[in-house]
Amino acid sequence: MIFPFTAIVGQDEMKTALVLNVIDPAIGGLLIMGEKGTAKSTAVRALAELLPEIEVVKGCPFGCESGGFLCSSCRERVEKGDQIEGTWQKMKVVELPLGVTEDRLVGTLDIEHALKKGEKKFEPGLLAAANRNFLYVDEVNLLEDHIVDLLLDSAAMGVNTVEREGISFTHPARFILVGTMNPEEGELRPQLLDRFGLCVRVVSVRDKAPRVEILRRRAAFDLDPEAFMKDWQEEQDRLAKDITAARQRRDGVEAADPVLDQIVSTTIQLSLDGHRADIVILKAARALAALRGRKAVGADEIKEAAMLSLAHRAKRLPFEEIGAEKGKIEQVLSGLRIA
Amino acid sequence: MNFSTFIGHDDAKLALVLNAIDRRCGGVLLWGEKGTGKSTLARLFKDILPEGGPFVEVPLNITEDALLGAVDIERALSEGRKAFQPGVLSRADGGVIFMDDINLLPPAVVALIAETCDRGVHVVEREGLSARHPARFIPLAAMNSEEGAFSPHFLDRFGMCVALSTLDERGPRIDILKTAGHQAEAGRDKKDLNELHRRIARGRAQIGTVSLSRTIEEYIVSRCLEAGAEGHRGEIFLLYAARAYAAYSGEAAVSEKHVDAVVPLVLSHRVRPREETEEEIEAPDHSENHDCGEPPEKDRAGEAHGSAKEGNDREEADSAGDDTSGVERQKTEPSKEEVFETGKSFGVKKIAFEKDRLKRNESGRRTKTASFGKSGRYVTSGFFDNRDVAIDATLRAAAPFQKGRGRDGFLVIRPEDLRFKEREKKTGHLVVFVVDGSGSMGAQKRMVETKGAVQSLLLDCYQKRDRVALIVFRKDRAEVVLPPTSSFELAAKRLRELPVGGRTPLAAGLLEAYRLVRRTGLQRPRTRCLVVLVTDGRANRSLTQEPIDREIGRITALLKTVRRSDYIVVDVEDKRSLTKMDLAVRLAQRLDARYFRPADLKSENLTGMVREAKTVQMSND
């Protein structure tokens, strides 16, 4: 049983950033950096409870979206003229353990099938399971380089292409990458860092009262998880409902030209490379407005979205810590007005 | 000997007892010098474990397959089925995983165990296998503090941490001798252990009913806040420990005294060391140095060491003359030499480099490399025959053809099916320290801090199993004062004896480094070198008639032609001085080196408890 998401004390930034990714998966994931023992992993695992249902092709292990980009076997079915049927399935949090091997990540030949039938069949790996779902890597900075390479490869294209052991297979692999890390344990490769749409830094709560509350909830959960879950069910349901509603409203939220203008001038002032930051800010701000039930993106949403999207993208001096430029971002954002 | 006849170390025994009562206490890390009984006590934990709980040891040479589980070769070959052969993590549920010398285990192994412990489930995604096994175990570890630090990130996962020291009193020491000689009364031993079993069983039965008041919860948080414990794990572990202790004492409610009793066990490793404690631990270090009979300057150096801040303040007053002071001193007293004391050492940040394309056998702990032999982590499979067959890949290669080859029971594997494991491991470097010993380094006792930084790096090299060499440049030349060696005692000695004085022949230092690195490349072509240049960058003596700057440019260009060598520049110039010139920064750019100021080398996270012991030992010779 997993500790309920809504029972996590404080850490609002982290919780919001996770929820925004559920509302709009195109935001591109989240990196959670922080000290040891600050509920990072708990929050990600707890998110699973709140996830909505998505429509997938029935019987497809790759979670293909009917009408979207299809995997090799779905495409074959379509070409043969088969009718593709949709079904609803809850989004998942797929965990990528540190000890994962290459073949389990990308998928490989199904050995038992090959032995019994003498034919080659593709056995889906974790990237298949993660398609349109969350892919969670705890201690992402400790992940082996060769695994990171494979992740980056499919994250870039949203496709996993497998050419091994005489197998040739393609399937969509658009996952929401969520990583947690303790920066003291080692750095993250810049290419991987850039893949994360948002980034938050969590620190432990310093005040006594909330700390007592954390301890109390944790102890209550450990002693009687079922009773504890029951107490929080109402809160959980409410958030799940809000998220589903926000997902539906999301694309209708207006982002007028002055808003776009503000986003761009913010990133220009911080002299960021590339356009990814602009897009991420817009998407996150829109998801945030949708969550709040607003019809249009406002200055508040841009500010908050920018804080979440820029911390790991701002230019750093060599050896400067990620997040150290928070002050500079805040300064730029403080001048933000929407005409 | 059994758990209850083990003499002394009552705190360590209490920690184990509490974990036996409640697994949620989060395990124990025992640390101390060699011969203090850490591993013995840890293994005796078996005596008090609940019946049937496994006690699994993790040997230092453990492979990832053995830890995580792998394809069962026998069944794969005979039945043609993909069966899972469980590893250590699948066998530990409900018991203990014991990691002796945890700081010597590959960090990747520790990370995997910590990850699983945290999750309570062992998730297997390997070699075509996918499985979930419950894995609720007590992590138990021992470490010898002389062998290097242990990541505080993982330290935090342990519920409790206890230091074991050699017992100082006569009585207990004699008792230990007796026990070791089997002279204790066997009958009584058994009785004591039975009594302990009874108490633990009672504690385990009662723990669910032990009550916890709101006041106690607040008290627990206050104790953690007071101690400055980081993160929230401290509070939670403290709560479980206090509760287990109350149950062990047969009481119905947790009270402050239970919390107080377990605070040292739970919080000692979550607190950053305070400055005073470091001073205290360093104290014997000083006296050792005095005994070595160093030159009279040491008193002044010691003063600067003790109050670095004051020194800096004073420095600012005459910083205007700083630049020239070194040079002037040479003019007036050209032969003046000083030997400065070694400043305080510290834990060093993780410094590792990109993997290259060579395969190596040399082991070490710094940088990743492809491995020649059978050691290291299985990364992928290929056709290169290194006699290390990758079963999973081979089976996959053979599988589709079994029907055609007429399989009857056993699999038919042909030579063309064979795939071999390509592995990755870590290797050490040859670390060449090139240290500026010129007069300007003596200004403001800069050399004290510099030696401290170099000593810290040496310590890091020892832990990463690098080899080291030391080049000093001063007066009119550079000298290899320590040829490549694995003896860190010798290296520390050379460093301590290092004199300061004279001009700065930086170019000569670089040239000597080039010669050494190049020679190494010829002798051991697979060795990765790392040149650590420690200087304020103020070169003022050239090798030839050329301008100094151009000369240095030529030698840095030469250095950059060396393959398999990386560079670090440690800039020891006083950045608060009005005349700072940042010459070392330019040098770092030219060399494409990593650039550090001594303070930047410090790992901010070190819990500190571990490294001092070794520092003291090194300075003792």
Based on the domain organization, do B135 and B234 belong to the same domain?
Answer: no
Q: Identify whether residues B390 and B502 lie together within a single domain.
A: no
A124 is a domain residue = yes
Higher pLDDT, B463 or A320: B463
Closest CA relative to residue B456, chosen from B370, B533, B344: B344
Pair (B387, B504) in one structural domain: no
Distance CA B147, CA B104 (A): 7
Q: With bands split at pLDDT 50, 70 and 90, how would you rate the model's confidence at B399?
A: confident
Last residue of a domain, one of B114, B142, B170: B170
Number of domains in chain A: 2
Task: Please report whether residue B158 resides in a domain.
Answer: yes
Distance CA(B563)–CA(A235), nearest Å, equals 61
Tell whether A29 is covered by a domain. yes
Q: Are strands A108-109 and A122-123 parallel, antiparallel or unpaired?
A: antiparallel
Lowest mean pLDDT among B34-38, B86-90, B91-95, B131-135: B34-38
Closest-CA residue of chain A to B83: A112
> Per the CB < 8 Å rule, is B396 touching A98?
no
Would the CB atoms of B125 and A108 count as touching at under 8 Å?
no
Say yes or no: A219 contacts chain B, CB-CB below 8 A.
yes
Task: Say whether both A183 and A303 belong to one domain.
Answer: no
In a domain, B603, yes or no: yes
**Residue A221, domain member (yes or no):** no
pLDDT at B612 over 50: no
Tokens 């023992």 belong to residue = A37
**Cβ separation A98–B403 shorter than 8 A:** no
- Least Cα distance to A204 among A33, A38, A328 occurs for A38
- The per-residue b/e assignment along A80-98, b for 16 or more CB within 10 angstroms, e otherwise, is eeeeeeeeeeebbbbbbbb
Q: Is A108 on the interface with B (CB under 8 A)?
A: yes
pLDDT band (50, 70, 90) for residue B255: very high
B379: containing domain: 370-425
User: What CATH number corresponds to the domain at position B227?
Assistant: 1.10.8.80
Give the CATH number, domain containing residue A169.
3.40.50.300
CB contact under 8 A, B399 and A111: yes
- Round to whole Å and give the CA distance between A275 and A91: 29
- Rounded to an integer, the average pLDDT of B173-200 is 72
Residues A27 and A175 occupy one common structural domain: yes
In a domain, A60, yes or no: no
Of A36, A101, A114, the CB nearest to B127: A101
Judged by a CB distance cut-off of 8 A, whether residue A147 touches chain B is: no
pLDDT at B32: 84
Taking CB atoms and an 8 Å limit, are A37 and B234 in contact across chains? yes
Q: Are A10 and A156 in a shared domain?
A: yes
CATH number at residue B6: 3.40.50.300
Complex ipTM over 0.90: no
pLDDT higher than 90, residue B426: no
Using an 8 Å CB-CB cutoff, list chain B residues near A205. Answer: 232
* Environment class of B407 (CB within 10 Å of its CB; exposed 0-12, middle 13-18, buried 19+): middle
- pLDDT bucket at B318, cuts 50 / 70 / 90: very low
Chain A residue nearest residue B208, CA to CA? A223
Task: Judge whether B555 lies within some domain.
Answer: yes
Chain B CB contacts of A126 below 8 Å = 125
Asked if residue B74 has pLDDT above 60, the reply is yes
Answer yes or no: do B379 and A146 touch at CB < 8 A.
Answer: yes
| pLDDT score recorded for residue B324 | 41
Q: Which chain B residues touch A99 with a CB distance below 8 Å?
A: 64, 67-68, 112, 124-126
Domain boundary among B425, B447, B462: B425
Q: Is A28 left (phi over 0), alpha (psi -120 to 50) or beta?
A: left
CB pairs < 8 Å spanning A and B: 160
Q: Is A180 on the interface with B (CB under 8 A)?
A: no
pLDDT (average), residues B327-347:
63
Instruction: Determine which of A91-105, B366-380, B434-448 has the lowest per-residue pLDDT on average.
Output: B366-380
Q: What is the pLDDT of residue B310?
A: 41
Nearest CA-CA distance, residue B215 and chain A, Å: 10
Which ranges in B412-532 belong to alpha helices (H)?
A: 446-463, 488-497, 506-523
pLDDT band at A15 (very low <50, low <70, confident <90, very high): very high
Q: Vertex B458, ends B455 and B463: CA angle to 5°?
A: 130
3-state secondary structure of B292: coil
- β pairing state of B377-382 and B420-427: antiparallel
Distance in angstroms (rounded) separating the CA atoms of residues B105 and B142:
11
Q: How distant is the Cα of B285 from the closest Cα of chain A, in angstroms?
A: 29
From the list B142, B163, B158, the residue with the least C-alpha distance to B237 is B158
DSSP code for A64: P
Q: Are residues B158 and B27 in the same domain?
A: yes
Smallest Cα distance from A178 to chain B, Å: 16
| Residue A115 to residue B232, Cβ atoms within 8 A | no
**The predicted structure's pLDDT at residue B349:** 79
Residues facing residue B508 across a β-bridge: none
Burial of residue A278, with CB atoms counted within 10 A of its CB: 0-12 exposed, 13-18 middle, 19 or more buried: middle
> Does B346 share its domain with B492?
yes
Do both A159 and A283 map to the same domain? Answer: no
With an 8 Å Cβ cutoff, is A213 touching chain B? no
Check whether residue A165 and residue A263 sit in a common domain. Answer: no
- Inform me whether the C-beta atom of residue A49 falls under 8 Å from chain B C-beta atoms: no
Are residue A180 and residue A120 in the same domain, yes or no? yes
Structure token pair of residue A236? 């959980």
Domain contains B222: yes
> Where do we find the tokens 């209850």?
B4
Q: What is the pLDDT of residues B465-489, one digit of tens each?
A: 888 999 999 888 899 988 888 777 7
What integer pLDDT is reported at residue B30 of this predicted model? 92
The CATH number for B488's domain is: 3.40.50.410
Pairwise CA distance, residues A306 & A300, whole Å = 10
CB-CB neighbors (< 8 A) of A46 in chain B? none
% of chain A exceeding 90 in pLDDT:
38
> What is the pLDDT at residue B98?
94
Phi, psi (5° rounding) for residue B162?
Answer: -130, 135
| Residue B418: CB atoms within 10 Å | 16
- Per the CB < 8 A criterion, the answer to whether A109 and A166 are in contact is yes
Inside any domain, residue A196: yes
**Any idea how long chain B is?**
621
Q: Which residue of B has its CA nearest to A137?
A: B115
Q: Is residue B471 part of a domain?
A: yes
Closest-CA distance of chain A to residue B248, Å? 18
Q: Looking at B173, B233, B465, B477, which residue is catalytic?
A: B233
At B371, give phi and psi (nearest 5°).
Answer: -105, 145
The per-residue pLDDT for B320 is: 40
> Is the pLDDT score of A37 beyond 70?
yes
The reply to whether residue A219 touches residue B239, judged by beta carbons under 8 angstroms, is: yes
Report the candidate in A120, A103, A106, A189 with the shortest Cα–Cα distance to residue A154. A106
Q: Please, are residues B111 and A139 in contact by the beta-carbon 8 Å criterion?
A: yes
CATH number of the domain at A304, please.
1.10.8.80
Are A114 and A263 in the same domain?
Answer: no
Give residue B425's pLDDT.
82
pLDDT at A319 over 60: no
CA separation, residue B606 to residues A185, B488, B559, B602 (Å): 11, 22, 34, 9
- The two structure tokens encoding residue B229: 């414990």
Nearest-CB residue to B156 (from A37, A165, A215): A37
Give the amino acid at B270.
Answer: R
Residues B236 and B343 in one domain: no
Instruction: Mutation target for A interface from B90, B129, B232, B381: give the one with most A CBs within 10 A.
Output: B232
Cβ atoms of A285 and A302 within 8 Å: the answer is yes
- Which chain A residues have a beta carbon less than 8 Å from that of B112? 97-99
| pLDDT recorded at residue B308 | 40
Side-chain-facing half-sphere of A138: CA atoms under 13 Å: 25
User: Is residue A105 one of the residues assigned to a domain?
Assistant: yes
Q: Flag if A104 and B125 touch (Cβ within 8 Å).
A: yes
Question: If you average pLDDT over residues B95-114, what whole number do you get?
Answer: 87
Q: Which residues of A are less than 8 Å from B401 in CB distance?
A: 118
| Separation in Å, CA A275 to CA A17, A159, A271 | 20, 21, 11
pLDDT category of residue A31 using cuts at 50, 70 and 90? very high
CA distance B401 to A50: 46
Q: How far is CA A172 from CA A109, A133, B365, in A?
A: 18, 12, 38
Residues B452 and B514 in one domain: yes
Q: What's the pLDDT at A248? A: 93
| B276 located within any domain | no
Domain that holds residue A290: 253-334
Contact (CB<8Å) A184/B152: yes
Residue B612 lies in a domain: yes
- In this structure, the answer to whether residues B472 and B600 fall within a common structural domain is yes
Closest CA to B352 of B518, B471, B530, B151: B530
* Interchain proximity A215–B233, CB inside 8 Å: no
What's the pLDDT tens digit per position in A227-252? 999 999 999 999 999 999 999 999 99
CB A196 within 8 A of CB A29: yes
Cβ contacts (< 8 Å) between B120 and chain A: which residues? none
Catalytic positions of A are 276
- Closest residue on chain B to A185 (Cα): B153
Cβ–Cβ gap A212/B129 under 8 Å = no
**b/e map of A1-28 (b: 16 or more CB within 10 Å)?**
eebbbbbbbbbebbbbbbbbbbbbbebb
Smallest CA-to-CA distance from B202 within B37, B29, B21 is with: B21
Q: Are residues B151 and B255 in the same domain?
A: no
Tell me what pLDDT residue B609 has: 34
The more confidently predicted of residues B419 and B361 is B419
Residue B283 above 60 pLDDT? no
Is the predicted pLDDT of residue B560 greater than 90, yes or no? no
For residue B288, being part of any structural domain is answered with: no
Question: Which residues on adjacent β-strands are paired with residue A32?
Answer: A180, A200
A258 with A153, same domain? no
| Interchain CB distance below 8 Å, A36 and B152 | yes
Among B236, B368, B400, the residue with its CB nearest the CB of A120 is B400
Closest CA–CA distance from residue B397 to any residue of chain A (Å): 6
- The chain-wide mean pLDDT, for chain B, equals 78
pLDDT tens-digit profile of B127-158?
Answer: 778 888 999 999 999 988 766 667 767 788 89
Cβ within 8 Å of residue B331, ≥6 positions away: none
- Mean predicted confidence (pLDDT) in B79-90: 82
Number of domains in chain B: 4
Q: Are B261 and B218 found together in one domain? A: yes
Contact predicate B419/B451, CB 8 Å: no
Give the chain B residue whose CA is nearest to the CA of A210: B221
For residue A282, being part of any structural domain is answered with yes
Question: Is there a domain that residue A65 lies in?
Answer: no
* Chain-chain contact of A219 with B112 (C-beta, under 8 angstroms): no
* Same domain as B464, residue B344: yes
Of A38, A109, A218, the CB nearest to B396: A109
pLDDT band at A338 (very low <50, low <70, confident <90, very high): low
Region A40-60 average pLDDT: 90
* Chain B: residue whose CA lies nearest to A95: B123
Rounded Cα distance between B535 and B546, Å, is 21
| Calpha distance B224→B234 (Å, rounded) | 7
CA-closest candidate to residue B347, choices B175, B155, B531, B217: B155
Mean pLDDT of chain A: 86
Tell me: do A40 and A144 sit in the same domain. yes
B490 and B607 share a domain?
yes
Residues A157 and A46 in one domain: yes
Residue in the block written with tokens 């060579």: B358
Q: Flag if A204 and B232 touch (Cβ within 8 Å).
A: yes
Residue among A165, A186, A212 minimizing CB distance to B218 = A212
The bridge status of strand B429-436 relative to strand B420-427 is unpaired
